[in-house]
Amino acid sequence: MKKKLFLISIAIFCFFACDRKAVHSWVLWKRTIVQSQYRNTDQWETQKAFPTSSECMKQRDTRIKNDRAAFENLWKDKKDIKVEDIKTGVSYSGNLEGRYLSRTHSYTCLPEAVDPNKAIVNFE
């Protein structure tokens, strides 16, 4: 009887306390790092949620490709600005009118419960 009562109480506890949803969506995060003589910023922003990690990764790859095209188009006439791929995104850096600047966009898919603004993790 005690064993049965114990199992029932564990089941009730898990029903209310355990995360029944687990991971029901994945969030695409964009990290933007800007460095120049005027400012240095590092920020994470949510982009969109997806039901599966594979859908999130597909969108991540599309965003990286689009950012690369946008960066190349923006700096196509500037020989001192270099656009390059990084592991999880794309960046540009160089000198513009005698001033150094750098901007990196990287993308990461994380379970919805994970907020990279609160984590001490390097995703690159």
Amino acid at 43: Q
The answer, yes or no, to whether residue 7 has pLDDT greater than 80, is no
Residue 45 lies in a domain: yes
The predicted model gives 7-17 an average pLDDT of: 36
Considering the domain boundaries, does residue 71 fall inside one? yes
Looking at the 3D structure of the chain, how many domains does it have?
Answer: 1
Residue written as tokens 């990196």?
A: 104
- Answer whether residue 70 is part of any domain: yes
CA distance 111 to 6: 33
Q: Write down the mean pLDDT value for the chain.
A: 82
Residue 123 or 13, more confident: 123
Q: Specify the pLDDT at position 120.
A: 57
In angstroms, the CA 86 to CA 124 distance is 8
Instruction: Name residues whose C-beta falls within 8 Å of residue 94's C-beta, 6 or more positions apart in sequence.
Output: 75, 78, 80, 81, 82, 100, 101, 102
Residue 39: inside a domain: yes
Going by pLDDT thresholds of 50, 70 and 90, the confidence category of residue 6 is: very low
- Domain with 44, as residue range(s), is 24-111
Q: Does residue 3 belong to any structural domain of this protein?
A: no
Q: Which residue has the tokens 């689009």?
A: 66
Does residue 6 belong to any structural domain of this protein? no
Read off the pTM. 0.74
Asked if residue 103 has pLDDT above 70, the reply is yes
Q: Half-sphere exposure of 115 toward its Cβ, with a 13 Å CA cutoff?
A: 2
- Is there a domain that residue 83 lies in? yes
105: alpha, beta or left? (left if phi > 0; alpha if psi -120 to 50): beta
Q: What is the pLDDT of residues 19-59, one digit of tens each?
A: 444 557 999 999 999 999 888 999 999 999 999 999 999 99
Query: What average pLDDT does this structure show over 2-29?
Result: 50
Let me know if residue 118 belongs to a domain: no
**In sequence order, what are the residues at sequence separation of 6 or more whose Cβ sits closer than 8 angstroms to the Cβ of residue 63?**
28, 30, 47, 105, 107
